[in-house]
Amino acid sequence: MGKKVFLASDHAGFSLKSALCEHLKEQGHEVYDLGPEQAISCDYPNSAFKVTDKVLENEDSLGILICGTGIGMSMAANKVKGIRAALATCEFHAKATRQHNNANVLCLGERVTGVGVALGIADIFLNTEFEGGRHLRRIELFDKM
């Protein structure tokens, strides 16, 4: 069964976002593209907050944010309490951040990660579960900050 996934980008991540939306729908996920609708200049924090709001409102959902490097999106998303956004540049990052950090938002960089690699990263992120156990105690420390 697919996941509920909210995606957004800025202008520098628009093409990768479009490819991811199509790919994830084909994989059976319930995909919500929160914009932008075209590759025009926009402010990445606004896109990040659209996704983080939806992830927090929809239990068991996940988010994906794309900008040029993924760094700006991850910085913006992590300002929101309850969000654990992770920039992943390889499949191992995607797997580890879900298993150990229970990341609920994946950040990608269109200018630094090829489409094929990004699709693989997203697939692993969406299909890997949190291990809990000793990792849960560490995650709970985030909410105390």
Is 90 one of the annotated active-site residues of the chain? no
Q: What is the dihedral sign for C-alpha 100, 54, 81, 63?
A: positive
Is 67 one of the annotated active-site residues of the chain? yes
Which of the following is catalytic: 23, 93, 100, 135? 100
The neighbour count for residue 32, using CB atoms within 10 Å, is 17
Q: What Cα–Cα distance (Å) separates residue 123 from each residue in 46, 116, 127, 138?
A: 25, 11, 6, 25
Cα(71)–Cα(128) distance, integer angstroms: 22
* 67 backbone φψ class: left, alpha, beta (φ>0; ψ -120 to 50): beta
Phi first, then psi: give them for residue 31, nearest 5 degrees: -110, 130
Residue 34 in tokens? 């929160």
Which of the following is catalytic: 67, 90, 107, 135? 67
- Annotated catalytic residues are 67, 100
